[in-house]
Structure formats: structure tokens, C-alpha cells
């Protein structure tokens, strides 16, 4: 196990920060967010989830002078050629209106006249540590979209996503159940293995 240290969560999304804090509970870490430290949001100019996560982790680690963890994740809809994908947050606009973003997805699927509502949630974590190479951990979960949105748990696109083998949307699931099967949970399982090996210089 690692010793107690402070880890910066390179996110200004309070829902995402809360979820990451819960996933890191097994570790004796003091968590602060990028917004807690007044760090600026960076331009996510990468072409993949992993590239964007690395950009955010590097920026936060350099600005804060300590280890930083960044998450870049989103919804990839099969019939929309993987959109919104890395632009998932941007589809919600500057006001983070995911209600409008979910309505846009439904509208575009209807325009295509498709019966294929399959989709994937994808997560890439990037851990930036002093004097060490960036570590990337990825996870995903497949499922189907459902409309209208259901449930008030979680955040983002959770109310329209039903993981394969489930009946409830991520928005309806108790957080503990979601954390057991989600894309973020699968990426965190790989991160936890890395931390438990004692390789991290947090």
C-alpha cells in the first residue's frame, strides 16, 4: 500500500470528482480537485480519451507541484460513428446541460432511422507523478441507450445508458452497484493494481 499523500483530481466536474473520491476510498489519500486549487481548465486537444487524460494530468501536476489523476471519459454511440466520444462534455455546452445533450443523441438517432441503440462508455485515467512516466489505465462497458432518460443518480449520460445484462440505467443504479461494473470502475481496477504494487510515487 502507498503512504498517505495528497492527490489532485484534474477535474472541475463535481460529479466526476465525487465518483473518483469514492473509488479511491481504499487508499489513504487526501483528495483535492483542480477547482479546489483554482487551476485553469486546459484545452483538451487530444484525438483520444487517453491523450486528453494525459494532457489534463500533466497540466494539473505541473501547476500544483504534486501527483495528479485525470479522467477523460465519454459515451460512444455505434450508429453515430462513435459520437459524441471525446466531445461528450462539449455536447452539453458551457452550461453542462446534459439534458440537452441526451435529447440531441435521441434526435440524431431518429434522423438516421436506426434501430441500433448500442453504445459504450469509455474511460481513460492518466496518473502523473513527480519523476515518473505518465501511467494510463483504460476501461469500457458496453450497453444500450434508452429514452426517455431514467434516474437521478450519477451524472452526464447515465440516465440513458443500460449496461449489458442490466435493466436499470446508470442513473437508476445505486452508486455502489454502478462502481462495480462501470467503465470508470474497470479503469480504476487497473489503477488500484498499480498502486498496490507500490510503484506509485504519490
- Three-state secondary structure call for residue 21: helix
Neighbours of 8 (CB within 10 A): 24
Cβ density class 174-197: b for 16+ within 10 Å, e for less? eeeebbebbbbbbbbeebbeebee
Helix (H) or strand (E) holding 202: none
Please give the Cα distance from 158 to 154 (Å, whole number): 6
Q: How many CA atoms lie within 13 A of 78 on its CB side?
A: 12
Would you give the DSSP letter of residue 79?
G
Q: Which of 18, 19, 14, 128 is nearest to 70 (CA)?
A: 128
Strands (E), 51-164: 68-77, 118-128, 135-145, 161-163
Known catalytic residues are 72
172: cell is 437508476
Amino acid at each position: 500500500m502507498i503512504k498517505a499523500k495528497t492527490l489532485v483530481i484534474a477535474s472541475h466536474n463535481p460529479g466526476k470528482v465525487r465518483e473518483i473520491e469514492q473509488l479511491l476510498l481504499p487508499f489513504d489519500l487526501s483528495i483535492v480537485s483542480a477547482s479546489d486549487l483554482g487551476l485553469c481548465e486546459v484545452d483538451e486537444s487530444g484525438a483520444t480519451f487517453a491523450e486528453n487524460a494525459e494532457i489534463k494530468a500533466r497540466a494539473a501536476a505541473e501547476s500544483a507541484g504534486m501527483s495528479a489523476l485525470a479522467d477523460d471519459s465519454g459515451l460512444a454511440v455505434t450508429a453515430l460513428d462513435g459520437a459524441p466520444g471525446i466531445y461528450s462534455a462539449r455536447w452539453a455546452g458551457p452550461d453542462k446541460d446534459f439534458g440537452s445533450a441526451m435529447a440531441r443523441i435521441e434526435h440524431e438517432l431518429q434522423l438516421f432511422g436506426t434501430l441500433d441503440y448500442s453504445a459504450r462508455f469509455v474511460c481513460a485515467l492518466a496518473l502523473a507523478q513527480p519523476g515518473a512516466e505518465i501511467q494510463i489505465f483504460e476501461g469500457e462497458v458496453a450497453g444500450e441507450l434508452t429514452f426517455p432518460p431514467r434516474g437521478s443518480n450519477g451524472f452526464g449520460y447515465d440516465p440513458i445508458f443500460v449496461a449489458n445484462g442490466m435493466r436499470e440505467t446508470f442513473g437508476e443504479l445505486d452508486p455502489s452497484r454502478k462502481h462495480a461494473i462501470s467503465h470508470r470502475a474497470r479503469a480504476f481496477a487497473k489503477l488500484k493494481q498499480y498502486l498496490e504494487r507500490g510503484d506509485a510515487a504519490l
